[in-house]
Amino acid sequence: MGANIKVTEGSVEGYAPSGLHGATIHMQIPSVTGTMDLMMAACLASGVTYIYNSAREPEVTDLAHCLISMGAMIQEGVGPGPITIFGCDKPLLPYRYKVMEDRIEAEAFLILGAMAGNPLTVHGCTPKYQTALIEKLRAVGAQIDIRKYSIIVRKAICPVAVDIQTGPYPAYPSDLQPQFMTLLSVVRGTSRITEAVFENRFNQSGGLIAMGADICVDGEDAVISGVRELSGSMVAATDLRVGASLVIAAIVVKGITVISSAQHIDRGYYGLQRKLEKIGVTVTRSLGFDEGAGKVDSRVAVPALCSRV
Ligand SMILES: CC(=O)N[C@H]1[C@@H](OP(=O)(O)OP(=O)(O)OC[C@H]2O[C@@H](n3ccc(=O)[nH]c3=O)[C@H](O)[C@@H]2O)O[C@H](CO)[C@@H](O)[C@@H]1O
Ligand SMILES: C=C(OP(=O)(O)O)C(=O)O
């Protein structure tokens, strides 16, 4: 597209001495943020850009709709067809746009519902985005009732093992793999999770094992042998989705779980405490000292809800 990009340690410098122009781009991997960056750049470039093998996550489509509202000309490809962007070489117009819901957050509640829903209703979601998860939750044994903008989930009475493999949308999302591992920790039988999108994405296993789970990680595979129950422990939210998986575990286990580094959870789950309170979970916050990082961190204590759902 005419840009020069210089990657140095700790910084990326990009400049386009003669401006950007349209191009035909074949993405090696259907990168989500890569597709979004290219789409935005192509809107301001001169000429037409074709992006082949683009990501098709709902957030990519949502961004396209936002850009179109701002004056961009974009044709979303169907099937293997490219996304086509007709560059307008001029600024886009200001526009007030309501971004789509956080589908990964909605899905975390669906997983919680499959473990403790009595029933649990998730409002304001778009069920067609949850197809891969719903199929797996039903396979585990949860009952799912789909409405237009909400989903009602009832917990699986005798949950059974299933295998999942992550992949680009519409396959099972990588961002939702840690939370599903929590569910698989307490089903009957042995399940396998294959993480085919992100490397090193089984960090939740340490916390779940501390809570009593039987998990063996080998490269991109994790084998989970279901145990009867987990129990509360001191665990760490080493990243955003690890935090979500541990919060779900904390709600359904015996006893109290204290999750450190809760700032990771706050970053990605807006108003989680308030939402959990609506379903009867009381979360207590405090400050603690993270020895590894040598600094004060945020902690949450979550008493189990299982006896009450
Ligand atoms: C802000 C945002 O939306 N983040 C999401 C986005 O991240 P993000 O857009 O960063 O993820 P990508 O789809 O780009 O990357 C997925 C994987 O492919 C690898 N890769 C990517 C491009 C490339 O040229 N070469 C390569 O090897 C990356 O290292 C990573 O392991 O999609 C991920 C996969 O659904 C999600 O987990 C992230 O939550
Ligand atoms: C990888 C993720 O986000 P971040 O890169 O913001 O931690 C995620 O959403 O799971």
pLDDT value, residue 7? 95
Does 255 score more than 50 pLDDT? yes
**For range 183-198, the mean pLDDT:** 97
**Is pLDDT of 308 > 60?**
no
Three-point CA angle 224, 226, 231, nearest 5°: 105
Q: CB under 8 Å to 33, separation ≥6 — which residues? A: none
Structure tokens at 230: 């987990």
Q: Please name which ligand lies nearest the alpha carbon of 265.
A: 2
What pLDDT is stored for residue 250 in this prediction? 95
* pLDDT band at residue 197 under the 50/70/90 scheme: very high
What Rg value do the Cα atoms of the chain yield, rounded? 22
Q: Which of 103, 175, 176, 261 to mutate to test the pocket of ligand 2 (most atoms within 8 A of CB)?
A: 175
- For residue 200, which ligand has an atom nearest its CA? 1
Phi/psi-derived region of residue 261, left when phi > 0, alpha when psi is between -120 and 50, beta in every other case:
left
CA 308 / ligand 2 centre spacing (Å): 32
| 198 and 174 Cβ atoms separated by less than 8 Å | yes
Query: Global pTM?
Result: 0.94
Atom index in ligand 2 nearest the CA of residue 175 equals: 10
- Give the residue among 121, 114, 204, 117 at the shortest CA–CA distance from 159: 114
H or E segment at 207?
A: helix 204-210
- Mutate-to-test residue for ligand 2 from 199, 240, 261, highest number of ligand atoms within 8 A of CB: 240
Question: Sign (positive/negative) of CA torsion 209, 215, 218, 221?
Answer: negative
Whether the predicted pLDDT of 212 surpasses 60: yes
Q: Which ligand is nearest to the CA of 237?
A: 2
- Among 38-52, 113-127, 291-305, whose mean pLDDT is lowest? 291-305
In this structure, the residue with its CA closest to atom 6 of ligand 2 is 240
- For a ligand 2 pocket test, name from 241, 261, 265 the mutation site with the most ligand atoms within 8 angstroms of its C-beta: 241
Nearest CA to ligand 2 atom 7: 240
CA of 245 to the centre of ligand 1 (A): 20
Ligand 1 atom index nearest CA of 33: 9
**Residue ranges around ligand 1 (CB below 6 Å):** 28-29, 31-34, 55, 174-175, 197-199
The ligand placed nearest to the CA atom of residue 263 is: 2
The DSSP result for 178-198, as a single string, is: HHHHHHHTTSBSEEEEE--SS
pLDDT at 145 over 50: yes
Residue 59 alpha carbon to ligand 2 centre in Å: 14
* Angle CA 182–188–189, to nearest 5: 95
Residues within 6 Å of ligand 2 by CB: 175, 239-241
User: Would you say residue 305 has pLDDT above 80?
Assistant: no
Residue percentage of the chain with pLDDT more than 70: 98
Residue nearest to atom 23 of ligand 1 (CA): 29
Q: What is the pLDDT of residues 58-91, one digit of tens each?
A: 999 999 999 999 999 999 888 889 999 999 877 8
Q: Residue 309 — very low, low, confident or very high, per pLDDT cuts 50/70/90?
A: very low
Q: What is the mean pLDDT of residues 44-62?
A: 97
Q: What would the mean pLDDT of 232-245 be, rounded to a whole number?
A: 96
Distance 204 CA to ligand 2 centre (A): 14
Residue 300's pLDDT is 87
Tell me which ligand sits closest to the C-alpha of residue 59.
1
